[in-house]
Structure formats: C-alpha cells, structure tokens
Amino acid sequence: MDERIEEESTEKVPLNFLERIIEDDLANGRVPDNTIVTRFPPEPNGYLHIGHIKSICLNFGLAQKYQGRCHLRFDDTNPEKEDMEYINSIKSDIRWLGFDWGKYEYHASDYYQQLYEIAVRLIQEGKAYVDSLSAEQLKEYRGTLTEPGKNSPDRDRSIEENLRLFEEMHQGKHPEGSYILRAKIDMASPNLNLRDPALYRIKFASHPRTGDTWCIYPMYDFTHPISDAIENITHSICTLEFEDHRPAYDWATDIDGIEHAPHQYEFARLNINYLVMSKRRLLNLVKLGIVDGWDDPRMPTISGIRRRGYSPESMKDFISRIGVAKVESVVDYSLMEFCVREDLNKRATRLMVVLDPLKLVIDNYPDDKVEYFEATDNPEDPSSKTHQIPFTKELYIEREDFMEDPPKKYHRLYPGNEVRLKYAYYITATSVVKDADGNVVEVHCTYDPESRGGAAPDGRKVKGTSHWVSATEGVTIEARLYDKLFQTEYPGKATGNYLDDLNPDSLKIVTDAKAEPEILNAKVGDYLQFVRNGYFCVDGKVSTKEKLIFNRTATLKDSWAKLKEKMGV
Ligand code: ATP
Ligand code: MG
C-alpha cells in the first residue's frame, strides 16, 4: 500500500507546452516578481460555451498551479452587441466551474482614456494617421496574401491635421464610416494585420458601461495587447486564429511608453462533433426560438449544461483528458458524456422512477397494506445514507418490462414467467387486461411472500429484475428527455446551413412519469440517477411545488438498445 502511494507521487505528469514555457520563463528570471499573471478575456456578447471552459481551465488553472493570478477581463469594445445580462452570466458560469478572480475584475472599457491618450501620442510621433478611405477602398488598398497593399493618399497627412481630425472624431463631428485612425506600419508587409491596421472607428452607440461618453471605439488588435500590458499580464493565452495577429500584438506592446511587454501564446480551440460553438450561431438559435433561451438544456452553453445536470467536476475532468495542443482537432461528443457518467455514477442518488408506466396488480397481496423496503441512496458511496420505498398491491412497471408474446431470450415479465421486483419480491405474471384496441393496460400477477427482499429461500433464480413504483404511494412527475440538438456530426457541413441539420427529436417530454416519494426531497443541484433510465436533475427554472420537472442529463450505458438489436425486436 505504502509502496503504491510512493510510486504514484513520484510519477511525473508530462507538462503541456504552455507549462514548459512558463517553467522556463520562471527558471530564467523572465517573470516580473516571479508572479504568473494570466487573464480570461470574454467578449460580453453572448453566454459562455463549452469551448470557453477550456480557456477558463487553462488560464485559471495555470495561475493556480504556479501560484499566480488570473484576471477576468471583459473585452467590451463592441458596444452594440454587449449587454449586462451577458456580463452577469459569464461571472456566474466561471464561479460555477469553481474559479475565482478575486479583486481582479477588469473591463477593456476601463482603459478607454489611456488608449485614447496612447493614440494621440502615436499621431504626434507620426505613427498613426486619420484615413478617409471608404470601407470598399480600404479593402482594395489592403492588397491580398500574394500582392502588397497600396499606401492611402491620406497616409502623408500632416501631424497637425491628423490631430485635429482625430479630435473632431472624438467630439462626434463626423459620421460613422467617414474616418478611421490607422497605425502607420507597412502596407507591403507579408502579414496583412500589419498593413496599417485600424486603431479606432467612429460608432454612435451607447456602451453598457461608458454610456455615451465615447463615440470612437478602439479596435481589438489595439485594445487587447495594451490591456494586457496595463494589467501586467505575463502570459496572454488565446486560440490559434490569433496567431496571425501576434505581430500586431507585439507592435502594440512595443509602443514607446508601454513599460511591460507581455507575450501571446496560441493553443488549439476545443471543437466537439455534433455541437455548434460560436456565439453568433448560438444567439441565432435563441433568437429564432429553436431553443428555449441560452440555458436550454440542449445548448452547449455552460448555463445549458448546468441546467441539464452536468457537474463542474466532470467538465474539468473532460478538459484535462483532452489536453492542450497547438493542432486543431475534433473531440468526440461521447468522451464528454463518458466523463459526465463517470462522475455522476460516483455521486448520484438512486431513485426508482417509471417513465412509461404500465399498471401491475398483485392479486394475492393484501388490499390496503403498505410495507417499506430500504434502499441505499448510492451503492458506490460507502458512507451513503438510505431511504424507504413504499410497496403496495398496485404498482407501475415500465411498459417495456412486460411482453405478452415475447421473443426468445426475453427474460422480463410475460405470462407464466417469474421475475424480481427490485428490493421487494419475486412475482409471476398470470393474466392481462386490454383496452378496446387490444393494448395491454394492466398486468395481473402473484407474489411469493417467502421471497421478501428479492431472494427466494429455496435458492431458485430469476433472470429479470424490474424497478417499480407504488401506484397509490408514488408521485407523478414530468421528465424531459434530450437527444443531440443536431443530428449530423458536423452541422451544416453537407447542407451549407447548420439549421438544416437540426434533430427534430431533440426533446421528448414525459408528463406522467411515476416516481417513488423520496423524489420529493430532491433539490435543485442534486445529482440523481433514475434506476435504468439515466442521470437526472431537478429543473429549477420550470419546476413548481405542484409539478416537479426533471431533466435527463445522460442515459446510462444503453445495454437494452443493444440487446433489442440482437433479438431483432
Ligand atoms: P466564439 O468564436 O465561439 O463566438 P469568441 O472567441 O468570440 O467565441 P470570446 O468571448 O472572444 O469568444 O472568447 C474568450 C476567450 O475564450 C478567448 O481567449 C478565446 O480564444 C477563448 N475561446 C473561445 N472559443 C474557444 C474554444 N472553442 N476553445 C477554446 N477557447 C476558446
Ligand atoms: Mg472573440
């Protein structure tokens, strides 16, 4: 035992490429105060999605590992698309994951005055100019990957005139699109982002934080590196699509007077098959009413998976399993579900709930008797509590657990066959009652009083075990069963429009599921397993006292579907 622990603790987990860079920087004295400072920089124009979890775990995780700190910075430079609702949701989602930015909450808009002063200085030094080219002309003058760009006729405007025009832009004297402020770098640069990138544009829009103070707003490539520098960020980590922007990042942090020079590092974004993870597309699903809001349990948003019943621990486990690399790849959806099941299996309270009820009457059981069986809340947890389940003459079982005329190898209930009712008794089906259309609506059976607890004293075995709920003591609940929102692995890839690939059966609502009364103790945030039917949670948003509504988080491993396939039924 001791030896094993010894072995585990000396085993080295390989470092990812960012950890190697950080350790090298620390070892070589390249980190001011030896304090690693990272930041998570969401744009508050939507809710966070599963892809962001990777970035959050990386930035906050590295800060934790190296005893540094991680800033939460709202990258709020697009006033029109941004909203306080998004800011609040982002904070609550990060906290749900278990990370804390402490007092280090920032907004790029906090730096508007500083950025403005830097821009003025650049103009004074002849390093920026006001351009009046139209959007179309700007594109034309920019050149292509194979052809250099052309200098704008405004590039040689005098410093005095540039200062005057920029001040007029600032004062709201010019309409949107009439002028931009550009850096004077190099129109022939092989990197398009260095061909005199825009620094400021005119926008008459109210900002959620600065209101109408500004009508010129700084661009991302100018704002982001300078915000990093102001906050003394040491390692600015972003996704690969910003690799081409790194020279612009370095240009900005190299501006005279900017003292701290952070570095940008890129990693591969998280992609998962069957999901769309762009805020624009997710917003579209919300706007078109295809889902019931950003927190619809089918949405790959943090608030969606949270309402669906995923645990933060399972998502962190998922992120740690996929690792950090510099090459784009697509992760299989089933790996994420696997992590969710692994975690919930360890912590979920087991309850008996019948989703598709079929009445079962035990003819030789006393009419008004109620007896109780004890069930362990979670057999995977040695310290688990127990609860009592009432048993009565009339019960419900799953419709699929009975067949009047079964195929071979069907071991569940059918006339003449004996099965176990979980925790309770052996029963044998005797007859059925049918409705006018010939559907079985009631199954009659007898029970063996000697088999109390679910085992017969003579040692005889049965092959099938059914879960059940008392028809008189149980409660009716609603269960919402989810499937993937998109039915193709790469939504929109073949059709050209991801909306064409929506799964029409992504939500099935069961309004009259029957549950053992213990379910009334379930609270929002509890992890539950409905025996054989999957992991569930209380939907705190739509449940009422009168009507409890549960979301299915994930199915259990579906052995029944496989069996059915084998039997050909
Ligand atoms: P989207 O492209 O999905 O709309 P975004 O990149 O515009 O998202 P931001 O709010 O700008 O969203 O992202 C905040 C941070 O999260 C950025 O550093 C970004 O690189 C990172 N991020 C966004 N999507 C992913 C992803 N799929 N995997 C890993 N990191 C991501
Ligand atoms: Mg973005």
Q: Judge if 514 and 444 occupy the same domain.
A: no
The strand pairing partners of 208, in sequence order, are none
For ligand 1, atom 16, name the residue with the nearest CA: 52
Largest CA-CA distance found in the chain, in angstroms, rounded: 103
Q: Judge if 391 and 516 occupy the same domain.
A: no
Q: Judge if 339 and 429 occupy the same domain.
A: no
**Is residue 456 one of the residues assigned to a domain?**
yes
With H, G, I as helix, E, B as strand and everything else as coil, classify residue 244. helix
What's the CA-to-centroid distance between 72 and ligand 1, angstroms? 14
303 vs 164: CA distance, rounded Å: 48
**Is residue 261 one of the residues assigned to a domain?**
yes
**Ligand nearest, relative to CA of residue 266:** 1
Neighbouring C-beta atoms of residue 117, cutoff 10 Å: 12
429 vs 446: CA distance, rounded Å: 7
Give residues with Cβ within 8 angstroms of 49, minimum separation 6: 277, 279, 282, 299, 300, 301, 302
Lay out the sheet containing 105-107: strands in order across. 37-40, 69-74, 105-107
Give residues with Cβ within 8 angstroms of 75, minimum separation 6: 41, 42, 43, 44, 108, 220, 223, 224, 227
416 vs 356: CA distance, rounded Å: 23
What's the CA-to-centroid distance between 295 and ligand 1, angstroms? 18
Q: Judge if 45 and 169 occupy the same domain.
A: yes
Atom of ligand 1 nearest to the CA of 270: 28
From first to last of its 569 residues, what are the pLDDT tens digits of the chain? 344 444 455 567 899 999 999 999 999 999 999 999 999 999 999 999 999 999 999 999 999 999 999 999 999 999 888 788 999 999 999 999 999 999 999 999 999 999 999 999 999 999 999 999 999 999 999 999 999 999 999 999 999 999 999 999 999 999 999 999 999 999 999 999 999 999 999 999 999 899 999 999 999 999 999 999 999 999 999 999 999 999 999 999 999 999 999 999 999 999 999 999 999 999 999 999 999 999 999 999 999 999 999 999 999 999 999 999 999 999 999 999 999 999 999 999 999 999 999 999 999 999 999 999 999 999 999 999 999 999 999 999 999 999 999 999 999 999 999 999 999 999 999 999 999 999 999 999 999 999 999 888 899 999 999 999 999 999 999 999 999 999 999 999 999 999 999 999 999 999 999 999 999 999 999 999 999 999 999 999 999 989 999 999 999 985 444 555 666 65
274 vs 331: CA distance, rounded Å: 10
Neighbouring C-beta atoms of residue 312, cutoff 10 Å: 18
53 vs 94: CA distance, rounded Å: 8
What's the CA-to-centroid distance between 43 and ligand 2, angstroms? 6
On whether the CB atoms of residues 438 and 503 are closer than 8 A, the answer is no
For ligand 1, atom 14, name the residue with the nearest CA: 42
Q: Judge if 260 and 303 occupy the same domain.
A: no
What's the CA-to-centroid distance between 111 and ligand 1, angstroms? 22
For ligand 1, atom 3, name the residue with the nearest CA: 278
Neighbouring C-beta atoms of residue 458, cutoff 10 Å: 8
Phi (first) and psi of residue 403, to 5 degrees:
-140, 135
**Is residue 367 one of the residues assigned to a domain?**
yes
Helix 50-65 / helix 312-322 crossing angle, nearest 10 deg: 80
- Nearest Cα to 166, choosing from 60, 141, 158? 158
Q: Cite the DSSP H helix spans in 255-301.
A: 279-287
- What is the domain-level CATH number for residue 101? 3.40.50.620
Q: In the listed set 467, 492, 525, which residue is the last one of a domain according to the structure?
A: 467
Catalytic residues, which ones?
Answer: 43, 269, 279
Atom of ligand 1 nearest to the CA of 278: 3
- Nearest Cα to 165, choosing from 129, 134, 196? 129
Q: Judge if 413 and 506 occupy the same domain.
A: no
Domain carrying residue 383 = 353-467
Atom of ligand 1 nearest to the CA of 269: 28
On whether the CB atoms of residues 107 and 256 are closer than 8 A, the answer is no
8 vs 156: CA distance, rounded Å: 66
On whether the CB atoms of residues 454 and 425 are closer than 8 A, the answer is yes
What's the CA-to-centroid distance between 80 and ligand 2, angstroms? 14
The residue behind tokens 């309850």 is 351
Q: Judge if 117 and 191 occupy the same domain.
A: yes
**Is residue 165 one of the residues assigned to a domain?**
yes
Using CA atoms, how far residue 327 sits from 17, 56, 233, 332, 407, in Å, is 12, 19, 24, 16, 51
For ligand 1, atom 25, name the residue with the nearest CA: 51
Q: Judge if 495 and 378 occupy the same domain.
A: no
439 vs 427: CA distance, rounded Å: 22
What's the CA-to-centroid distance between 268 and ligand 2, angstroms? 15
* pLDDT in the model for residue 557: 80
Q: Judge if 293 and 208 occupy the same domain.
A: no
Q: In the listed set 219, 234, 269, which residue is the last one of a domain according to the structure?
A: 269
Q: What is the DSSP string of 544-562?
A: -SS--EEEEEE----HHHH
**Ligand nearest, relative to CA of residue 93:** 1
- The H-or-E segment that residue 253 falls in is helix 246-253
For ligand 1, atom 27, name the residue with the nearest CA: 51
What's the CA-to-centroid distance between 40 and ligand 1, angstroms? 10
Q: In the listed set 217, 248, 269, which residue is the last one of a domain according to the structure?
A: 269
Torsion of CA 225, 227, 232, 234, to 10 degrees: -40
**Ligand nearest, relative to CA of residue 82:** 1
Sign of the torsion formed by the C-alpha atoms of 290, 294, 299 and 300: positive
* pLDDT in the model for residue 293: 97
379 vs 14: CA distance, rounded Å: 35
500 vs 507: CA distance, rounded Å: 17
Residue 173 tokens, joined: 């004297």
Q: Judge if 195 and 235 occupy the same domain.
A: yes
Q: What is the DSSP string of 90-126?
A: HHHHHHHTT---TT-EEEGGGGHHHHHHHHHHHHHTT
**Is residue 42 one of the residues assigned to a domain?**
yes
Q: Judge if 83 and 149 occupy the same domain.
A: yes
Neighbours of ion ligand 2 (CB under 5 A): 43
**Is residue 16 one of the residues assigned to a domain?**
no
541 vs 295: CA distance, rounded Å: 10
The strand pairing partners of 350, in sequence order, are 529
- Ligand 1 pocket test, candidate residues 16, 39, 52, 280, most atoms within 8 A of CB: 52
For ligand 1, atom 2, name the residue with the nearest CA: 278
On whether the CB atoms of residues 463 and 426 are closer than 8 A, the answer is no
- Ligand 1 pocket test, candidate residues 269, 273, 328, 331, most atoms within 8 A of CB: 269
**Is residue 472 one of the residues assigned to a domain?**
no
560 vs 569: CA distance, rounded Å: 11
* pLDDT in the model for residue 436: 97
**Is residue 344 one of the residues assigned to a domain?**
yes
Ligand 1 neighbours by CB, cut-off 6 Å:
41-43, 51-52, 54-55, 238-239, 269-270, 277-279
Atom of ligand 1 nearest to the CA of 59: 18
Give residues with Cβ within 8 angstroms of 57, minimum separation 6: 97, 316, 319, 320
Residue 329 tokens, joined: 């790849």
* pLDDT in the model for residue 3: 42
Q: Judge if 187 and 311 occupy the same domain.
A: no
What's the CA-to-centroid distance between 193 and ligand 1, angstroms? 20
- What is the domain-level CATH number for residue 437? 2.40.240.10
How many structural domains is the chain composed of?
3
The residue behind tokens 């607890």 is 453
- Give the pTM: 0.93
For ligand 1, atom 13, name the residue with the nearest CA: 42
Length of the chain equals: 569
On whether the CB atoms of residues 92 and 135 are closer than 8 A, the answer is no
**Ligand nearest, relative to CA of residue 329:** 1
On whether the CB atoms of residues 353 and 516 are closer than 8 A, the answer is yes
- Nearest Cα to 177, choosing from 154, 200, 207, 210? 200
With H, G, I as helix, E, B as strand and everything else as coil, classify residue 211. strand
Give residues with Cβ within 8 angstroms of 123, minimum separation 6: 129, 130, 159, 162, 163, 166, 181
For ligand 1, atom 10, name the residue with the nearest CA: 42
- Nearest Cα to 76, choosing from 50, 102, 115, 103? 115
